[in-house]
Amino acid sequence: MRRGLLLFISLFLIMSQAFGFELILPKEKKTLTTSNYAFFVGKAKSSESLSINDENIYIASNGAFAHSVKLKEGENRIVLRTAYGIQIYKFYKSTVEEQPIPTEEFEPAKGYVNHDNVPLRSTPVDAGLNRISHLFGGTHLVINGSKGSFYRVLLSNNKEAWIAKRDVTLTDESFYPADFVNMDSERFKNAIIQSITFSKKLPYTIEDNEKEIIFRVYNPELSLESVYNLNIPKPDKYAYTISLDDGQYTFKVRKLTDNLKEAVVVIDAGHGGSEKGAIGCLGDEEKDINLKIAQLVAENLKDKKINVVMTRDCDANVELYDRVNIAKESGADLFVSIHLNSIPDIPMNIHKNRGTSVYYFNNNSKDFAEKLKDSITSSANTRDDGVKTGSFAVIRPTEYIAVLVETAYMTNPMDSVLYTNDKWIKKAAKGISEGIIDYLRGK
């Protein structure tokens, strides 16, 4: 009898441990890292006492918790205490010291771009907001320096840029200055089209200013003062395209429709299939919540007779550039990519790292980002995490107005109470839908 009672108690304690506490991250007890912080995410009973390195950890009403620990150089011993005992984690932090890369100067050389859609950047960094145009394959360049994996491109007396070496072929061929052929301009009810033609492909940049877009084409082989400017006024809601055909650059700025039934809205449920996205405190996967919100948004918009295209409507893998191609081929006016956020390599703050943020890349999308952020935070009652710029592949194209929405933080225990609730998912979808409709109507 006594032995049976002891066995029952032992089984009860084991089951309590199994269901009372689960650590989602980190996966291993020993970790080699270059990160500045160790991130702990998991679930526990809300009534439990939990501490990490003797610091008491907040546990949300649904059991979610998250905490970060700053790492020092070398070995870091982190002690996690629960009602079931002590767990010890060891993080070994090593720092990779980056040596400054010098700029190599050399006499101007000739080269050409290997393929279409090659980023021309303002700095020699393969990331961030430094794209100033996307060049066409065969574009002739003058190269006068290099730094690391980038060539420096000479554009004019006061303008240089950078391009990845992998995207350029240097050549000893004799290049000749391009000849200017002609310039043309047409105005339509909903679009302005300007074209400029040369005898060969040249580099260009784009400046999206407050009242106009300036396309600048450079011909440095002719002269370092040889810069051709096309100044195109823009409406309040606009998108633009750049095409090249037999030396003719065509720049088109179009006004977006105010008619809901004419608009095309692409809804992009982030991640999917094997791409799980962020993992939440309770082990939930971002891709699933993104899809739930996206499906509801699509239903809401279709109820208003708006043309909706979804990049995925099930749990499937869709490549980033396939999502972009779907938007372009459907003639999208608006593109909304739906996600949930996670904590990067920064201190975890459950009060600050939470809520809704909206990202945009091109200036034509800023107003829409503001509209959506206000609409979602009002409907879903989330913290206002701001409107921000971000260089995400799906929102870089200029052919449509595009934003990426982070509805809440997967790795914030307070937000996890929201996004695991179906009522909140409906509210978030309602906020996105109403923001889209109001923007299209010009409200």
Does residue 179 sit in the same domain as residue 77?
no
How far is residue 300 CA from its own chain's centroid?
Answer: 25
pTM of the model: 0.93
Where residue 3 falls among pLDDT bands split at 50, 70, 90?
low
Give the pLDDT confidence score for residue 17 in this predicted structure.
45
Evaluate whether residue 9 is within a structural domain. Answer: no
Evaluate whether residue 7 is within a structural domain. Answer: no
Q: In 3-state terms, what secondary structure has residue 406?
A: strand
Average pLDDT over residues 394-399: 97
Asked, as a colleague might, if the bond just before 413 is cis with ω within 30 of 0, I would say no
* Tally of domains within the chain: 3
Does residue 110 sit in the same domain as residue 81?
no
Evaluate whether residue 123 is within a structural domain. Answer: yes
Quote the CA–CA distance of 129 and 265 in Å, as a whole number.
Answer: 25
DSSP per residue, 209-270: -SSEEEEEEE-TTT-TT-EEEEEEE--SSEEEEEEEETTEEEEEEEEPP--TTT-EEEEEE-
Please identify which residue in the block is written with the tokens 């919540």: 289
- Of the residues 213, 231, 255, the one at which a domain ends: 255
According to DSSP, the β-strands at 85-93 and 30-33 are: parallel
Please tell me what DSSP assigns to residue 428.
Answer: H
Does residue 105 sit in the same domain as residue 229?
yes
Residues in the chain: 443
Does residue 371 sit in the same domain as residue 295?
yes
Evaluate whether residue 130 is within a structural domain. Answer: yes
User: What backbone phi and psi angles, to 5 degrees, belong to 64?
Assistant: -75, 140
User: pLDDT tens, 277-317?
Assistant: 999 999 999 999 999 999 999 999 999 999 999 999 999 99
Tokens (6 digits) for 125: 């960094």
Does residue 210 sit in the same domain as residue 115?
yes
- Of the residues 231, 255, 279, the one at which a domain ends: 255
CB 380 within 8 A of CB 422: no
User: pLDDT tens, 226-268?
Assistant: 999 999 999 999 999 999 998 999 999 999 998 999 999 999 9
* Maximum pairwise Cα distance, the chain: 101
Average pLDDT over residues 368-376: 98
Quote the CA–CA distance of 23 and 41 in Å, as a whole number.
Answer: 6
Q: CATH number for the domain including 190? A: 2.60.40.790
Average pLDDT over residues 411-435: 97
- Domain range for residue 77? 20-93
The two counts, helices (H) then strands (E), for the chain are 6, 28
Give the pLDDT confidence score for residue 437 in this predicted structure.
97
Give the pLDDT confidence score for residue 12 in this predicted structure.
37
Does residue 136 sit in the same domain as residue 70?
no
Q: CATH number for the domain including 73? A: 2.60.40.10
- Whether 361 has a pLDDT exceeding 50, the answer reads yes
Where residue 175 falls among pLDDT bands split at 50, 70, 90?
confident
Quote the CA–CA distance of 431 and 55 in Å, as a whole number.
Answer: 37
CB 217 within 8 A of CB 249: yes
Does residue 81 sit in the same domain as residue 130?
no
CB 222 within 8 A of CB 177: yes
Quote the CA–CA distance of 373 and 310 in Å, as a whole number.
Answer: 21
According to DSSP, the β-strands at 212-218 and 74-82 are: unpaired
Please identify which residue in the block is written with the tokens 């199994």: 18
User: b/e per residue, 170-202, with b = 16+ CB within 10 A?
Assistant: eeeeeeebbebeeeeeeeeeebbbbbbbbebbb
Quote the CA–CA distance of 214 and 407 in Å, as a whole number.
Answer: 34
Quote the CA–CA distance of 331 and 366 in Å, as a whole number.
Answer: 20
Q: CATH number for the domain including 394? A: 3.40.630.40
Evaluate whether residue 6 is within a structural domain. Answer: no
Burial class (CB in 10 A: 0-12, 13-18, 19+), 245: exposed
| H or E stretch at 360 | strand 356-360
Does residue 104 sit in the same domain as residue 77?
no
Interhelix angle 422-441/286-303, rounded to 10 degrees, is 50
User: pLDDT tens, 43-98?
Assistant: 999 888 999 999 999 999 999 999 999 999 999 999 999 988 899 999 999 987 77
Q: In 3-state terms, what secondary structure has residue 64?
A: strand
Evaluate whether residue 373 is within a structural domain. Answer: yes
User: pLDDT tens, 119-158?
Assistant: 999 999 999 999 999 999 999 999 999 999 999 999 999 9
Does residue 246 sit in the same domain as residue 109?
yes
Please identify which residue in the block is written with the tokens 């790292």: 353
Does residue 73 sit in the same domain as residue 145?
no
Does residue 325 sit in the same domain as residue 276?
yes
- Of the residues 33, 66, 93, the one at which a domain ends: 93
Does residue 433 sit in the same domain as residue 298?
yes
Evaluate whether residue 294 is within a structural domain. Answer: yes
C-alpha distance from residue 136 to each of 44, 118, 242, 325 (Å): 55, 7, 10, 17
Quote the CA–CA distance of 347 and 70 in Å, as a whole number.
Answer: 7
Evaluate whether residue 5 is within a structural domain. Answer: no
